[in-house]
Amino acid sequence: MGYKGYSDFRSDTVTRPTEEMRKAMYEAEVGDDVLGDDPTVKELEELAAETLGKEAALFVPSGTMGNTIAVKLAAGEGKEIILEEHSHIYNYEAGNVSRIAGSLPRVLSSDHGIIPIEKIEENIHKSLRDHIPETKAIALENTHNFWGGVPIPIDYIKQVSEIAKKHNLHFHLDGARVFNAATALKVDVKEITKYFDSVMFCLSKGLSAPVGSVLVGKKDFIREARIVRKYLGGGMRQAGIIAAAGIISIKVMTKRLEEDHIRARRLAEGIADIKDIEIELDRVKTNFVMVKMKNTTSFDFLEKLKNYKVLALPFNDKLVRFVTHNDIDDKDVERAIDAIHSIFKN
Ligand code: TLP
């Protein structure tokens, strides 16, 4: 079932490929990428590595696979990885951190995605005795999905990277929306990624590609990652068809994210005065608006919202997420604002 005619704020994953992407996909030169001869995949991987300031890159089918491969190589079986308690890797990746990577997540609470530095350091375990699993890795998420798409500040990232270095830990970024973070922080994306050993970012979210994510890091790490991708069944043959869209994601779509952020802001401000809901306005910094229900449930609210042809995503019983993206324009935002006002009109 499609939602043609609806204003779809459920996620930026719903974005459809642009005309430019469709044309590039049609024209893409392709080959068998498992045999290493798809020129378009190679071009995407080289562009991704260069854009994020890393030695090499690997095109993967999803963000989940990119993160899973990274955890598997960075921590691995029986070793610990430090994660924030609401991180996507821990909560929304089907348990892959243990199911596939075989690692133990050491989950730490935070203030909107910021785990106190001392707490991180206290939770690093070296295998002094043979029954203690050793800490091997730490991951951050930027922007942080659960915490409302907030960008994690660079000086914090730098501090965590120093701890990681000091304790010889692999530092991974779940950067599904790292270009939104860079846009909000007004920096080149390298200013964020340079602190990490590996970064996963998604082409298929705000960057509008139909499929795919990229994992970047050192050459040796990516060589190993290619093997893990293969045994997970993620080796793709004439993948240049989809990589062609990813190239446009990086070259073109990364430059327009500010528009989405402005629209999210407009949406948040347009409904902030409604007394039946709660919004933390100062946390609306990228393309997410988290709306807390005071006197109803997310599910009741979303049922009503659907009657106005507006869709959003329930995060839990009380929390609803609206995401702006390339397929949301000013009219969609105004439609959502009017619909929400109508629903809560006494
Ligand atoms: N996030 C999706 C859902 O899973 C919630 C969304 O709509 O936001 N890291 C982060 C921070 C993500 O938000 C997501 C997807 C992923 C990883 C996984 O990417 P995919 O869906 O490509 O496996």
The pLDDT tens digits along the chain (346 residues) read: 578 999 999 999 999 999 999 999 999 999 999 999 999 999 999 999 999 999 999 999 999 999 999 999 999 999 999 999 999 999 999 999 999 999 999 999 999 999 999 999 999 998 777 888 999 999 999 999 999 999 999 999 999 999 999 999 999 999 999 999 999 999 999 999 999 999 999 999 999 999 999 999 999 999 999 999 999 999 999 999 999 999 999 999 999 999 999 999 999 999 999 999 999 999 999 999 999 999 999 999 999 999 999 999 999 999 999 999 999 999 999 999 999 999 998 5
State how beta strands 80-84 and 104-108 pair. parallel
CATH 3.40.640.10 segments of the chain: 19-251
Whether ligand 1 lies within 6 angstroms of the CB of 174 is answered as: yes
CATH of 3-14+256-344, one of 3.30.1330.10, 3.90.1150.10, 3.20.20.30, 1.20.1560.10: 3.90.1150.10
pLDDT at 346: 58
Judge if pTM exceeds 0.75.
yes
pLDDT at 156: 98
What lies within 8 Å, CB to CB, of 208 at 6+ separation is 15, 16, 17, 18, 21, 245, 249, 253, 325, 326
Q: Whose CA is nearest to atom 8 of ligand 1?
A: 11
pLDDT at 145: 97
Whether ligand 1 lies within 6 angstroms of the CB of 202 is answered as: yes
Whether ligand 1 lies within 6 angstroms of the CB of 68 is answered as: no
Distance 342 CA to ligand 1 centre (A): 31
**At 217, phi and psi to the nearest 5?**
175, -160
Distance 132 CA to ligand 1 centre (A): 32
State how beta strands 198-202 and 213-217 pair. antiparallel
CATH 3.90.1150.10 segments of the chain: 3-14+256-344
Whether ligand 1 lies within 6 angstroms of the CB of 13 is answered as: yes
Distance 131 CA to ligand 1 centre (A): 34
Strand-pairing partners, residue 58, are 215
Q: Is 304 exposed, middle or buried (0-12, 13-18, 19+ CB in 10 A)?
A: middle
- Taking the C-alpha atoms of residue 259 and residue 328, their distance in angstroms, rounded to an integer, is 10
Whether ligand 1 lies within 6 angstroms of the CB of 8 is answered as: no
- Taking the C-alpha atoms of residue 42 and residue 281, their distance in angstroms, rounded to an integer, is 42
Looking from the CA of residue 213, the nearest atom of ligand 1 is: 22
246 within 8 A of 59, measured Cβ to Cβ = yes
CATH of 19-251, one of 3.50.50.60, 3.40.640.10, 3.40.50.620, 3.40.50.2000: 3.40.640.10
Amino acid at residue number 315: F
State how beta strands 7-8 and 213-217 pair. unpaired
